[in-house]
Every structure is written in C-alpha cells, then in structure tokens.
C-alpha cells in the first residue's frame, strides 16, 4: 500500500510566526473571553512541509 506523499503528517512545535507580537495579540484577544483557537489551513500545511509560512489562519468555534 502506498502512502500519500502530498499530505504532510507529524507535529510542529512552537514556530516564530506563532509567537510573533501581532499573532499573540489576536490569540490573546480571542482567548481572553475563553474562546478556543487553533491554527488551521495553509500555515499548518506549510509548517509541516517546512515551507515558509506567508499567512496565518486561525479558527474558533464562535460565529463570525
């Protein structure tokens, strides 16, 4: 059985883009109200693939 080599797998530790001041400001504002946040989309894909992260997507369970 062949493995899909186009889908990255694994875990990523803290990255500079995760701890940047602008990113932290958004995360802090959302979590101050108890909202759960997650990094999603291309930033996760790029980090797992060891590619430069050019934009950050954050998801919450809250309605927009």
Separation of alpha carbons 16 and 33, rounded Å:
24
Q: Which tens digit of pLDDT belongs to each residue from 1-11?
A: 556 656 656 78
The average confidence (pLDDT) of the chain is 87
Q: Which tens digit of pLDDT belongs to each residue from 42-54?
A: 999 999 888 999 9
More confident residue, 25 or 62: 25
């Amino acid at each position: 059985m062949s493995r899909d080599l186009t889908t990255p797998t694994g875990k990523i530790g803290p990255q500079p883009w995760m701890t940047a001041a602008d990113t932290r400001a958004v995360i802090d504002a959302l979590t101050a109200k108890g909202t759960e946040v997650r990094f999603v989309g291309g930033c996760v894909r790029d980090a797992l693939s060891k590619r430069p992260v050019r934009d950050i997507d954050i998801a919450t369970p809250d309605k927009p």
